[in-house]
Structure 1
Amino acid sequence: MENGFVDCHCHISAHEFEEDFEDVILRTREAGVKTLVAVTEEVGEFARVLQLQESYPDLVAPCFGIHPLQAAEGPQQRSVKPQIGLDFTPWCAPTQQDRDDQVTVFIKQLSIAKELDLPVNIHSRSAARVTIETMKEQGISRALLHNFAGKPSVALEGVKAGYLFSFPPAVCRSKQRDKLIKQIPLEHICLETDSPALGLHQHVRNEPANIILPCRYIADVKGLPPETVRLVTAHNAYRLFPKAKTR
């Protein structure tokens, strides 16, 4: 098993890190993080992530996708086409047509992942059941559902399909997901920060060094040593993202 943390879902290319990027990376390494799965939210970030991979080949593993909610011209926001994942929150998908459009493009994205033999890193807000059902119908066997907040019964359907689930520092804010974490086997759990968002404090910038927080929390909920959670979740991550391990 691996000796360091794997942050399975972070936005290290976000503009929030521009001013003190080197310090963030230093703290990341000091915290024992060995791999950052660098997730994009828009096409404009693709080149930045590739640049970061070139600069930090032993740390940054690119993960390309587009968030379901994208800024349009003016104050409006719209469902994007294309995307990886589903977001059925009312402000993102107010109508059934919006949801149907998301599912249509989601399936197209899943087909690309299958064609390239790549795992998928999934955003599934207020859409856990549909997301898991769609992935199963499309024959997806390797998937991470990040910041998962669905029902335990839905999560267990994903476990049966072989999917993994990751949790960020924000999970420490309340005991709302304790039952969920207890029921998902540790062999199906990964760690993430989703930084700069989903930190311990809602309006404070999160960063990869905070990966220790969900590790400790999950360990506490499951009655395990944090070291065990760190080792097993890293092993799970590299099993799902084998190309990240070779960095």
Structure 2
Amino acid sequence: METCWFIDCHCHLTAEEFRQDINDVIEKSRKAGVRAFVSVTEQQSEFEEVIDLAERYPESVMACFGIHPIQSSADGHRSVTVQIGLDFTPWFVSTSQQREEQQKVFALQLDIAKQLDLPVNVHSRSAGRQTIAFLKEQGIWNALLHNFAGRPSVALEGVQAGFCFSFPPAVTRNDQRAKLIRQIPLENICLETDSPSLGPKKEERNEPEKIRIACQYIAAVKGVSVETVCEVTTCNALKLFPKVHQRLKE
């Protein structure tokens, strides 16, 4: 895999877990073959941080703005009113009003993406079918559904719409995603780490350098070489994120 390189399509470099050593994390990951990081925010307070990080690493860190649909607060977790994506996890979102509020704001932010001609990087936990239907309804055709865990039949609806799906190293913890990954064409798959979460070991901090673990797992499930998965998923990411492609050519 020496000649193969990766794009981490969904990570959180401005997370608190990276606050003390983010420069080391980025450099170590680059040495491991990660050429670009799509760094996604989870709350508004991270916006300036991710801009600063992208300015410090203009050749590799790409800022991706959004607010996670479930927010932490002093008294636990709550459904957010400004976000990209849908999260209908029952113990967080228990009322139809909360779901409707998420969908209203989701539509507003999808409009911004359309106006700016940008792809969307979407969270869809416990809402895979609803999210795919909503994206299609809103006229979105350039989308990444990160850490997708819906049914294969639902994913294929997204495949028909031209959407991509990405998977983190956590898929190696059990075989529940194997059937899903087997059904989705490789041409619709990207790689991510969702670091600092969703690593191969739940109790350890995940880092972008571990993206190759997801690559190796997908290769094993599909019965193809690791190099093939690396090359195709990187190509898919460059098509999905043209600004990343442009930045890497500069």
Assess same fold via TM > 0.5.
Answer: yes
C-alpha separation in 1, matches of 2:22 and 2:83: 27
**Structure 2 counterparts to residues 15-30 of structure 1, below 5 A:** 15-30=16-31
Once the two structures are superposed, residues 41-82 of structure 1 have per-residue CA deviations (whole angstroms, 9 ceiling, x without a partner) of 00110111111111111110110000001123x313221121
Q: Name 2:100's counterpart in structure 1.
A: 100
Question: How far apart are the structure 1 equivalents of 2:48 and 2:112?
Answer: 20
Counterpart in the other structure of 2:53: 52
Deviation at 1:90, TM superposition (A): 1.3
2:173 matches 1:173:
yes
Could you tell me which residue of structure 2 aligns to residue 193 of structure 1?
Answer: 193
**CA positional deviation for 1:3:** 4.5
Is residue 139 from structure 1 mapped to residue 130 from structure 2 by the alignment? no
Match of 2:120 in 1: 120
Q: 1:208 Cα shift?
A: 0.2
Per the TM alignment, residue 87 of structure 1 is displaced from its structure 2 partner at its CA by: 0.3
Equivalent-residue separation in structure 2 for 1:69 and 1:125 (angstroms): 10
Q: Give me the whole-angstrom Cα distance separating, in 2, the residues matched to 1:76 and 1:177.
A: 29
SS at match of 1:235: helix
DSSP-derived class of the 1:85 partner: coil
| 1:4 alignment partner in structure 2 | 5
| Secondary structure, aligned partner of 1:159 | helix
RMSD: 1.1
Take 1:47 and 1:239, find their aligned partners in 2: how far apart are those partners? 27
**1:167 aligned partner, one-letter code:** F
SS at 1:67's partner residue? Answer: coil
- Counterparts of 1:61 and 1:49, CA distance in 2: 8
Equivalence for 2:148: 148
Asked if the contact 2:4–2:227 (Cα under 8 Å) also holds between the matched residues in 1, the reply is: no
Contact 2:164–2:188 (Cα < 8 Å) also in 1: yes
Measured after TM superposition, the shift of residue 36 of structure 1 is 0.1
Output the amino acid matched with 2:92: C
Distance in structure 1 (CA, Å) of the matches to 2:195 and 2:220: 22
Instruction: Please tell me whether the aligned partners of residues 41 and 64 of structure 2 are also in contact (alpha carbons under 8 angstroms).
Output: yes
Mapped partners of 1:115, 1:29: distance in 2: 33
TM-score, reference length from structure 2: 0.96
TM-score of the pair, normalised by structure 1: 0.97
